[in-house]
Structure 1
Amino acid sequence: MARRWTNNLTLADATSEAAFWNRRRIMAGVAGTGLAAALGGQARAEGERTEELLEPNTWEEVTSYCNFYEFGTGKGDPSKYADRMTIEPWSVTIDGLVEKPGEYSFDQILGEMTLEERIYRFRCVEAWSMVVPWQGFELADLLNLAEVQDGAKYVAFETLYRPAEMPGTVYKVLDWPYREGLRLDEAMHPLTIMATGIFGKPLPNQNGAPLRLVVPWKYGFKSIKSVVRITLTDAEPPTSWNMANPREYGFYSNVNPDVSHPRWSQATERRIGGGLFARRRPTLMFNGYEDEVAALYEDMDLSEYF
């Protein structure tokens, strides 16, 4: 069984809430996938603190800049339309290669966790980086409720698909429902969590309420929102962005500064708190979690399995 990850961060290490919520003002002027998708990795390897250099935005300003294509492709569409999505009651179907397949209610999931929800402070990387406190629990704890069978090798995820509440689904931007996947060892790693909140607040609808995936050594493509199905399988599952454009989006989506996206580089990043013209710095392999996760990819050509 994978060892528990020891959180070596304190609240002093986290980007201030004001700086976090202010990033819409910054991100509006740079390329990036916004609030919902900027999800990568580690707590500051250098041990630096992010200073609060920005005036805080309102909750409404921040949560109006994100990706959730089921509500439209514009950055402001999710905040305009996501309130249509019904999240109570909520359940997740767990099926496939498990001993206890079934529909698990959100309350049941939280009620059966043997550990209280923990706060995870990960350094988020996209065009900018920061340290963010997520509330949630390890995905492994959820999978263990369903008792994964020995033959399982992958975990597939699906987002809610409810056209009556999701106006963006009338456009065939992607093949709905949205799908993601992990290898089983990635899914069971103690860094992989299901997030239920952020900064002490429940996730807003447009940011993936009530349950979303966070895989801190990968880009936001693995941060599937509003999860309703988890399937254990012995074959690599299809994933939405890989299906849409396999040349640009591989199955793994690891943060790898040595392998560029065909249209941009992952080699450097900017850090939130330093302003729009903050100097760029090298991106760390696996978002700085190399010690924790590199063994998952031993003997793999990461330029082929990207």
Structure 2
Amino acid sequence: MKQVIVITGATGGIGQLLVNGLQSVERHLVCVGRRESALSDLVERVKCENGLADEHISYQVADMSSSIDVEMAATKIKSSLGRVDLWINNVGVNNHDAMGPSWELESDEWFKEVQLNLFTSYLGSRAAINLMKSQQRGYVVNLGGGGADTPKPFGSAYGAAKAAIVKFTETLNHECIEEKIGIRAFCFNPGFIRNERTEALVKSEVAKKYMPNLEKVMDSGKMSDIGDSLFLLETLLSGKADHLGGHYFSADLFRKQWEEGIQPEACLLRVSR
């Protein structure tokens, strides 16, 4: 039986890199996004480059900020494939209009940033668990990011949303355990990975003004490697990390932590006392 993996926000940024890295003849990837033309192009390219067929990769059109869209996509996936093993909530944005001193931002733009990061993770997680709970096994993975564990000056909406996603994921995992549902939820920070979205962010005037360190990091070449995120996801899929459900990882550090033996308490957001 093929593993079924759902990747939201599949057509841009990290989403495409995850699709490229997780594709396999032993799997079926479902790419989820808002634009059908971009999804179709992505699926056809991946099939052509890797010798795959319709049985290995497909797409569903959905706006992940719409509960109706998300539920319809989940229903179609369940109907056509019967199951899901891993659901990755990758949708997230760095809204350039939500960057700057918090008191100078338009309130609607600030809230939009929170909604497009936090609420999409909630809707995806909700749909995934309702889809998978009859299997009594499966994984939900939410993406954290900058601002989750340290302040993100001039990016307060993004940072607040990512911190909330971390705590939401931990809570979700506890709820699954208490309800005796065999699903585990994880959250991780993929790091600062070069792709068209990060390049656009670095080149933007607002980032040059408020986050000039991003350009320095990109110019240095010392950026995160998508291979570390893929190693983390493969480890979760193996079931060997089930005891760490609800924890938050940095993909940059995970491989070394895993090889040396992860200290669970180091992978939770806690208030120092």
TM-score normalised to structure 2 length: 0.27
Higher RCO structure, 1 or 2 (CA under 8 Å, sep 6+)? 1
More strand by share: 1
TM-score normalised to structure 1 length: 0.25
More helix by share: 2
